[in-house]
Structure formats: structure tokens, C-alpha cells
Chains A and B, each alone.
Chain A
Amino acid sequence: MRSLKLTVNGTPVVREVADNRLLVDFLREDLKLTGTKESCGVGVCGACTVLLNGNPISACLALAVHADGGQVTTIEGVAEGDRLHPLQEAFLAHGGFQCGICTPGQILAAKALLEANPHPTRAEIQHWMMGNLCRCTGYYKIIESIAAAAGATGT
């Protein structure tokens, strides 16, 4: 066990965790932030994507202790209160999801993309989002949603 200090969605958190506790279990079970999903468990599907210090990572491959001292953003921290993030609005307006299970990961990966590259081309969107699988949409509307959000953020 060790003591873990980090910021999750802007809120300071201090917890005792086992050395081998995975970040995804820490978020879902210890903090009850179930918006982060787990599927493949081997870092392929991207459903568990969260941001650590702004970078997208697979929470199923990272240890919780890896996030010590860092800032973690999960899907619960993307909207500001009831005001949705432009990406959330764009996914809603453009049909960027159906069942929604991969959506938290898609939105966080896309958020990191727009922060790194506010006006990505279609090819840049595809290249960046390669690690986030979606079985429902066929991806076309995910690309459309991200492109629309990039236009809307106007940065």
C-alpha cells in the first residue's frame, strides 16, 4: 500500500492504494467514477482512455500510483456543471455515438487532440483517434463530430 495524492477532475484526492492497483479500478471502484469504461483490458480498445496531465492514456494499463502528483481528467470532468464541452455538444449534434460505451474514451482522446492541434485535418483526426475503437458508428460521424467541435472552439 502507499499513499497517493493527485487531482481528479480538479478535485484533490488523497488515498491509500495497493501498489498493483490499476488506475481504471481506482477510478471506477475507489472513486466511483464509472464513466471510465473497461473493455479489452490490454490497451487496444481505448474505452478506458483518461487524461493524465493532459495526455490520453489507457487506464487499464496504468497503475494508480503512476498518477501520483498528477492531474487526471475523466469524462465526469469534461463538462462545466451543466454546460457541455463543445466536443460533447458536437458528438450529440452529429451522431458521434450510438451505444455510448466507447464515448467517454473517444471524447477524452479528442479533447487531447484539440488541445494539441486545434484545427486538425481529417487525416490528422483519423491518425490521432486510431486507438479508440467504436463498433456502432463506423467512425464517420466521430470524425464529423470532432471536426465540428474544432470549428466551434474557434481557438
Chain B
Amino acid sequence: MAEASRTGKALGQPVKRVDGVAKVTGRARYTGDFDVPGVIVGRCLRSPHPSARIVSIDTRQAKALPGVHAVLTGADVPDTLHGRLCRDVPILAKGVVRFVGDRVAAVAADSIDIAETALELIEVEYEPLPAVFTAEEAMRPGAPILHPEKIEVGAGAAGGHHAELLMYPPIPNVISRLRLGHGDAASALAGAHRVFEHSFTVPGVHQGYIEPHACVVAIGADGIIDIWAANKGPHIARAQMAPAIGVPENRLRFNPVYIGGDFGGKGSLMDLVLCYHLALAARRPIKMVMTSFEELTAGNPRHSASITLRTGLDHDAKIQAIDARIVFNGGAYAGFIPGPTLHGYSELAGTYRVPHCAIEVLRVYTNTVPRGHMRSPGAPQVQFAVESHIDMIAHEWGLDPLEFRRRNAIAEGDPTPLGEQRRHMRCRETIDAGARVFGWDKPRPPGVGRGVSIYEHPSGSSGRSTVVLTMGKDGRITILLGAPDQGAGFHTMAAQLVAEHFGLSMTEVDVVLGDTLSTGFESGAGGQRLTMTAGQAIADAAGKMKVMLAALAAERLNCAPSDVRMDADGSFSASGTIIDLKSLMDWAASRGKASLSAKGESATKPPDVTGFVAHFAEVEVDRETGQVRVRRIVTAHDIGTVINPILHQGQIEGGLVQALGQAMCEQIVLKDGAVITALLGDYKLPTIMDIPELETVLLPGGPGPAPFETAAIGEMSNVAVPAAITNAVFDAVGVRLVELPVSPERVLAGMSEKADAA
């Protein structure tokens, strides 16, 4: 069958979100909004100690309180440990607690008030134990060991190309050590003209979704366990939960929900296993909604990191080698992320031509809040270090930071620092496009500084998607999806792609989110993959359905299927006769074929093209107070075909302001291991007053790796922003910040240090 090119009737159009009306009218139901018959609430008691032995727990008074249906402690639940890769998370503390916020006991009660009162009636005697709060402390010989028992590691803990991965190596508290590289960095550094070394510290930040974690578990009389959970990947969650509770996967039904923001943080089971055990014990459906306090103190925020970089240059200021040591503080449990470590290392210096590269990544247990995934996990930490380091080298060498980057920018034909070959390297073009709009060369007013920072990241391919398309006799198509839209626009994008494949308009496509019993495996959002994986699954299903349609059309038009041509508007023709989709389906229905159905799956091949971004920041520094104001940002993106300009721009703007928060005001502050930025009044998310003037520059025409040459955008906008800002602060007042966030205290201290030295 011949096929016409695309119509653009749906693809590339700023169509309204398919979930839009539900969201603006309050009809969209999030996990906490579900009212299951007979449901009562679950709450848990958390540890006040960072490390302690539980001597005794007395729950008698709590159990006696009217309205309490169940009280559980570690002794009442199985010893099973769960986790996404490393299975180290207990259902409730078993004898020891490992961070301030660790779950010690849980209550099911008629109301939150009763549950809270019951928690206060539980008496726990603790014997405090030595604790470690930083990764460096935790790795020292003789440090107290958080998990002395052997931790089971799930399948898939592979280091990848040119990599050596050790899970639980013989270093105290180390979860994983990954060493990888390309070439011979040690020799290249030894032979370099000049070598620069700098170290950086990046604190943890919270994903900041406005909907806290929530779940509902109802154990049905039919043996089916119904679940509603603020989890972006219900099929993955089901696969984790089934072994954790010893129930076959096909008895767990994760029901459709709306998700109130994710940003990488809603991929773990969080309270689900505990909620199940409360439901078992209380013989009632249970709803657990974390408070904002619990989210901030005991969620799964971004890993804090310390990073040291050494870079060798030749006589022409060209990079010869980079050596990196990255240490991530993983907190008390490793089970909140799906891999052995965070992927930020894989794009380290991906914007530069680096002939020799050596990277070591350590992920370490400490007695602090367990860390999880957040938008491009590991990359903002690593990229803050790399792009500050590059700026420092340029200044120490005496080169304009933009010129230094252009001189070393990776170009077509260059291998990446890790030795991979990719096509279509538009690094320098992206820098230049942004610099032009920003006016890099224009004179700066006094007190104003300008900084640049760049980043490279291919579209994601780490997951799998499955979709089912059904065409009814009216020619309308329904797409059945297996994961919620966490906000980025997955469902709308899917509808647009389906419409485009069949030359339909958006109004002729219906999106249905199924439960985990009615849908095929879908990884859901994460690692900026859905444009790739869902795009491929949709293309696969559309291709299969077109074959069926061509066979029908051939039958109708009395010709061979190979003679049928499908036009862009979805009609079929052969030797001058045309039949539109609706008439064809109507005819098929009259012959007993009421609908057509096709299942599509994604391919798993990683893309061989990548994407670049360049951010330019202009800041103004108050010399009296050290206060920094970000006046203006220009963000330039090397993109593929845009599916929906509103959603696309939404990813750019949202990621950018999230990064602005990380740069300027957000920080999880720990005191003796406890999170003390425990309310949203203390943990400062950016407000509408904090946003700078923003200009976006798009470089279209890139061959995106996904169907219709589309490409991912979700993790391109946030990663490199903080360094653009700190580089601008240096440009303004000569103060180099090697730690985030940009606080007035740090800037002021830096300025007075400079004044003292002068």
C-alpha cells in the first residue's frame, strides 16, 4: 500500500489537552479524591532518631482507642524488603530505624483525628546509635553500617558499555560503584599542558509536586486487590508490589487516576505495601495521604552530591581529558530508584570533544531521608559542576567562556566523551543561536553579569510502551493507554500522533486510560522517553491497522491490497475510485466486521541522534546585600518536529523555573540528619514573582529519533540552568559559587573575601 505524507492536521498543532476540561472544572479525580465504600484512613508513626535500636513498642492504649481498627508495628508485618532495584525498604522498621522519618508503626482509623491521637498513644523506647550524615563520613573505615545484611538486587543492574559496576563493593555503606571511561585519561592528564581541578557541592532538593503521595488499597471479596495510587508507572509499580506482598501480579488492579505532578518522584511504592497490610489487618479499604510535612521530611527527594573534576588542556586550550569523581548521598534506603545509580554521568561533558575520559560514580547510604529520582536524575548535580568548571577554566586561561565552549564544542563525526558515535551534532549551532538573541557581546551595565551553560541529552529509550488502537464502524479511533499523564501531556500527544497517522482530526480520536488488568505493559513517563516509546508503539499499531484497512479497501474496491493507496486525509483509492474511512468502516460493519483492533509495542533501540541546549542568564547583584536577581534568560534548544507547541513550550518553561528554584532558593536543609525545611513556608518553591524575562530560541529541522522526527524535550530545560546563573554571578561580581543555592550570604561572603584579599 502506498501512503501520502502527513497532513499536519493534528501534528504540530496547539490543540487543547484531552484532559483539559476535566482539570479546569475540578472533575479530574486524583488519588486522594476517590471515595471507596467503607474506606478508612491510614497514618504512620515515624522515627525521631536518625539511627536507633527500637527497644520496645507499646501499642495497647492506641489499640484501645475507639475508632481505631488496626495498629501495626514491625513485628506484625512480614520481613519482606522491597525496592525498585535494591530491595532494602522494610514495610515498617524491624528493630532499627535509619533516618528521622523512618516508618515505625501504623494505624488504621475512622478519621485522621483519631489516627493522629492513636499515634500519640504509641510508646516507643529507642536506644540511639551512632549515625552518619554525609557520604564521605559514611565511607570512612569503621563508620557505622546502615545495612549490614546482604541486600537483594533485582535483575538489570548492568553498568553498560565500557563500564565496571560493583553493587555493594567492600567500601563502608557504598550501594554501588560505577567506573567507566574512554581512552586513557590518566596518561592524557599527565601529558596535558595545564590541568585544572575544582570541587562542587549540590544539596538535595524536593520534586515539589503539589499533590503529595497518596494511595488507596481495597481488597475485594473476589481476590482482586484494587489500588489507586499517585504513581506514574502503574505497570512497574504492580511488578514491584506483587512480590513484596506475595500476590500474583494479575490480582493487582491499579485503577486510572490523575497525577498531580511527578518530576521523577512518583515511581516508587512509597506507602503502598504498608497500606495493603493495614487493609488486611483492618479488613477495610485504606486511604493513606502523606502530609506535606511527611513529603518534605520523608519522601524521596533528589540526591545531594559532591563532585570533583580534573581537566587537562593542550596549548590551544583544547580539552585533552576529563577525570570525574561523583559521590551521591543516597540516604537511608536505595530502593527508591530503578537503577544502581543516577544517569547524570552519561551526559557528563557530552557537549565537548573529550578524547579521554574517566568517571567514577559512588552512591552511598547515610542516616538521612532516602533519595529518589527527580527530572533527569543526577544530571543537574553533575552539570552544575561541569559547566562551572568549564567557566572557571576559561577565566583562568583568559578566554571568553563562550569562545572556550565554541572551541571545544563537539561536532559532527566526533565521538562522545564515552566513545559513542551520534549523528547530527548541532552543539555549536545551538550556542550561536542563543548567543545572538541574548546579545552576548553587548556591553554590560555595572552590577550586571552574564553567564552561559550548555547540555546534551538524547531522547529516552529506557522503557517500553504498549497501546491498543480500536477503530469503530463510525471511523473514530480509540487509543487505550496503560499509564497516567503526570502532567507533561502524554495523553494529548498520543491522540495527536494517532490522528496524524490516519489523517483524522483530534475530535475523531478518543483517549482511554485503562487499568493494569486491561492494558499491556507501559513504563509511563520517565527519562524523557514517552515521545520515543509511545510514539513507536502508536506507529506500530497504526501500521498494523493500516494493513487491515488496506485489505478491507482492496476487498471493497475489487483490487489487490498492494494497489490500494491511503491518502493523507485517511481515504483509500485504487484506479480512480475513492472511499473514505467512515464509508469503508460502515461497509465493513455491514459485513460483520464491526471494529478493527491493533496492538502496538515500542522498539527498544537507543537513538543515535541527540539534542543540545544552551542557556544564557543575565543577573543583577546588589553589592550591599548580596541579593541576586535573575533578570533575563535566553534558552536555545536543538529540537525535532514539535508535536504540540503549547505542551513543548510548557516543558521548557516549567523545567526552567524548576531549575531556577534549585539555583536560587531551594535546598533540603539537614540538622543532625533531620530535614528542617519541613513545611512549604521553609522549603521555598519559586513563586510567580520570581520568574525572569524569558526568551526561547528553537532550532527546528533536527532529525528527531522518534516517529515523524519528533524528539524529547522534558529533561532538556532544567539541567544546565543553575550554572548559567552562577557563571553570571561570577561575571557580575567575581564571586565563584561552588555550592548551590545562590544565597545572599554566600555572595556577600564571597565579595568580602575578595575585598579582604585586595
B-binding residues in A (CB < 8 A): 28, 32-42, 44-45, 47, 74-76, 78-79, 84, 88, 91-95, 97-104, 107, 125-127, 129-143
Any A CB within 8 A of the CB of B574: no
- Determine whether the beta carbon of B208 is less than 8 Å from that of A141: no
Comparing B25-33, B472-480, B585-593, the segment that makes contact with chain A is: B25-33
Comparing B101-109, B259-267, B493-501, the segment that makes contact with chain A is: B259-267
Interface centre among A126, A137, A143 (most CB of B within 10 A): A137
Any A CB within 8 A of the CB of B60: no
CB-CB nearest 9 A-B residue pairs: A35-B26, A99-B487, A101-B260, A100-B23, A138-B657, A75-B26, A138-B653, A98-B487, A95-B646
**Contact partners of A45 in chain B: CB under 8 A:** 210, 292, 680
- Determine whether the beta carbon of A34 is less than 8 Å from that of B26: yes
Q: A75 to nearest B CB, angstroms?
A: 3
**Contact partners of B260 in chain A: CB under 8 A:** 37, 99-101
- Determine whether the beta carbon of B688 is less than 8 Å from that of A139: yes
**Contact partners of A39 in chain B: CB under 8 A:** 210-212, 292, 680
- Determine whether the beta carbon of B25 is less than 8 Å from that of A135: no
Any A CB within 8 A of the CB of B163: no
- Determine whether the beta carbon of B263 is less than 8 Å from that of A135: yes
Q: A7 to nearest B CB, angstroms?
A: 18
- Determine whether the beta carbon of B25 is less than 8 Å from that of A84: yes
In the assembled complex, the Cα of A135 lies from the Cα of B212 at a distance in Å of 13
In the assembled complex, the Cα of A108 lies from the Cα of B208 at a distance in Å of 22
- Determine whether the beta carbon of B680 is less than 8 Å from that of A42: yes
**Taking A34-B33, A93-B16 as contacts, is the C-beta distance between A103 and B688 under 8 angstroms?**
no
- Determine whether the beta carbon of B653 is less than 8 Å from that of A140: yes
Select from chain A the residue with minimum beta-carbon distance to B292. Answer: A40
Neighbour of B680 across the interface among A40, A92, A104, A136, CB < 8 A? A40
Interface size on B, residues (CB 8 A): 57
Interface positions of B from 650 to 707, Cβ below 8 Å from A: 650, 653-658, 679-681, 685-689, 691, 694
Interface centre among A44, A102, A127, A130 (most CB of B within 10 A): A44
Interface centre among A33, A76, A99 (most CB of B within 10 A): A99
**Contact partners of B35 in chain A: CB under 8 A:** 32, 34
**Contact partners of B292 in chain A: CB under 8 A:** 39-42, 45
- Determine whether the beta carbon of A137 is less than 8 Å from that of B211: no
Cross-chain pairs A/B with CB under 8 angstroms, 16 sampled: A28-B33, A32-B35, A33-B26, A34-B33, A34-B35, A74-B26, A97-B23, A98-B488, A99-B486, A100-B22, A132-B688, A135-B261, A138-B658, A139-B657, A139-B687, A139-B691
Secondary structure class of chain B's binding surface, majority of residues? loop
Additional 18 contacts, C-beta under 8 A, given A34-B26, A100-B487, A141-B653: A34-B32, A37-B32, A37-B260, A39-B210, A41-B291, A41-B293, A42-B680, A44-B679, A75-B25, A95-B649, A99-B210, A100-B24, A103-B24, A107-B24, A129-B688, A135-B208, A135-B263, A137-B650
Interface positions of B from 489 to 508, Cβ below 8 Å from A: 489
- Determine whether the beta carbon of A44 is less than 8 Å from that of B680: yes
Q: B115 to nearest A CB, angstroms?
A: 14
In the assembled complex, the Cα of A97 lies from the Cα of B485 at a distance in Å of 13
- Determine whether the beta carbon of B487 is less than 8 Å from that of A136: yes
Select from chain B the residue with minimum beta-carbon distance to A91. Answer: B24
**Taking A74-B26, A98-B489 as contacts, is the C-beta distance between A138 and B654 under 8 angstroms?**
yes
In the assembled complex, the Cα of A99 lies from the Cα of B525 at a distance in Å of 13
In the assembled complex, the Cα of A30 lies from the Cα of B686 at a distance in Å of 33
Any A CB within 8 A of the CB of B322: no
- Determine whether the beta carbon of B653 is less than 8 Å from that of A47: no
- Determine whether the beta carbon of A101 is less than 8 Å from that of B33: no
Any A CB within 8 A of the CB of B209: yes
In the assembled complex, the Cα of A99 lies from the Cα of B262 at a distance in Å of 9
**Taking A79-B25, A92-B17, A97-B23 as contacts, is the C-beta distance between A135 and B209 under 8 angstroms?**
yes
- Determine whether the beta carbon of A40 is less than 8 Å from that of B679: yes
**Contact partners of B20 in chain A: CB under 8 A:** 91-92, 97
Q: A87 to nearest B CB, angstroms?
A: 8
Any A CB within 8 A of the CB of B1: no
**Contact partners of A141 in chain B: CB under 8 A:** 646, 649-650, 653
**Taking A99-B260, A133-B685 as contacts, is the C-beta distance between A140 and B691 under 8 angstroms?**
yes
**Contact partners of B291 in chain A: CB under 8 A:** 41
Q: A155 to nearest B CB, angstroms?
A: 20
Select from chain B the residue with minimum beta-carbon distance to A93. Answer: B16
Any A CB within 8 A of the CB of B218: no
Any A CB within 8 A of the CB of B336: no
- Determine whether the beta carbon of B658 is less than 8 Å from that of A101: no
Q: B40 to nearest A CB, angstroms?
A: 13
- Determine whether the beta carbon of A130 is less than 8 Å from that of B30: no
Q: A1 to nearest B CB, angstroms?
A: 14
**Contact partners of A47 in chain B: CB under 8 A:** 210
Select from chain A the residue with minimum beta-carbon distance to B209. Answer: A135
Any A CB within 8 A of the CB of B21: yes
In the assembled complex, the Cα of A47 lies from the Cα of B656 at a distance in Å of 22
- Determine whether the beta carbon of A99 is less than 8 Å from that of B679: no
Interface centre among A76, A101, A130 (most CB of B within 10 A): A101
Q: B488 to nearest A CB, angstroms?
A: 6
Select from chain B the residue with minimum beta-carbon distance to A137. Answer: B654
Q: A10 to nearest B CB, angstroms?
A: 15
In the assembled complex, the Cα of A103 lies from the Cα of B25 at a distance in Å of 9
Q: A76 to nearest B CB, angstroms?
A: 5
Any A CB within 8 A of the CB of B647: yes
**Contact partners of A37 in chain B: CB under 8 A:** 30, 32, 210-211, 260
Q: B701 to nearest A CB, angstroms?
A: 24
In the assembled complex, the Cα of A141 lies from the Cα of B646 at a distance in Å of 9
**Contact partners of A138 in chain B: CB under 8 A:** 653-658, 691
- Determine whether the beta carbon of A136 is less than 8 Å from that of B25: no
Q: B483 to nearest A CB, angstroms?
A: 14
**Contact partners of A133 in chain B: CB under 8 A:** 210, 680, 685, 687
Q: B112 to nearest A CB, angstroms?
A: 8
**Contact partners of A94 in chain B: CB under 8 A:** 646
Bitwise interface map of B from 191 to 221 toward A, beta carbon under 8 Å scored 1, else 0: 0000000000000000111111000000000
- Determine whether the beta carbon of A100 is less than 8 Å from that of B21: no
- Determine whether the beta carbon of B29 is less than 8 Å from that of A34: yes
Any A CB within 8 A of the CB of B258: yes
Select from chain A the residue with minimum beta-carbon distance to B655. Answer: A138
In the assembled complex, the Cα of A91 lies from the Cα of B261 at a distance in Å of 17
**Contact partners of A107 in chain B: CB under 8 A:** 24
Neighbour of B694 across the interface among A79, A136, A140, CB < 8 A? A140
**Contact partners of A32 in chain B: CB under 8 A:** 35
**Contact partners of A38 in chain B: CB under 8 A:** 32
- Determine whether the beta carbon of B650 is less than 8 Å from that of A98: yes
Select from chain B the residue with minimum beta-carbon distance to A94. Answer: B646
**Contact partners of A101 in chain B: CB under 8 A:** 30, 209-211, 258, 260-261
**Contact partners of B116 in chain A: CB under 8 A:** none
Neighbour of A142 across the interface among B26, B209, B489, B688, CB < 8 A? B688
In the assembled complex, the Cα of A60 lies from the Cα of B80 at a distance in Å of 38
Any A CB within 8 A of the CB of B709: no
In the assembled complex, the Cα of A47 lies from the Cα of B655 at a distance in Å of 20
In the assembled complex, the Cα of A20 lies from the Cα of B209 at a distance in Å of 28
Interface positions of B from 446 to 485, Cβ below 8 Å from A: none
Any A CB within 8 A of the CB of B739: no
In the assembled complex, the Cα of A75 lies from the Cα of B649 at a distance in Å of 26
**Contact partners of A129 in chain B: CB under 8 A:** 688
Bitwise interface map of B from 344 to 362 toward A, beta carbon under 8 Å scored 1, else 0: 0000000000000000000
In the assembled complex, the Cα of A47 lies from the Cα of B33 at a distance in Å of 14
In the assembled complex, the Cα of A102 lies from the Cα of B211 at a distance in Å of 9
In the assembled complex, the Cα of A125 lies from the Cα of B688 at a distance in Å of 9
In the assembled complex, the Cα of A98 lies from the Cα of B681 at a distance in Å of 23
**Contact partners of B261 in chain A: CB under 8 A:** 98-99, 101, 135-136
- Determine whether the beta carbon of B647 is less than 8 Å from that of A95: yes
- Determine whether the beta carbon of B23 is less than 8 Å from that of A135: no
Any A CB within 8 A of the CB of B19: yes
In the assembled complex, the Cα of A133 lies from the Cα of B689 at a distance in Å of 10
Interface centre among B19, B260, B691 (most CB of A within 10 A): B260
**Contact partners of A130 in chain B: CB under 8 A:** 687-689
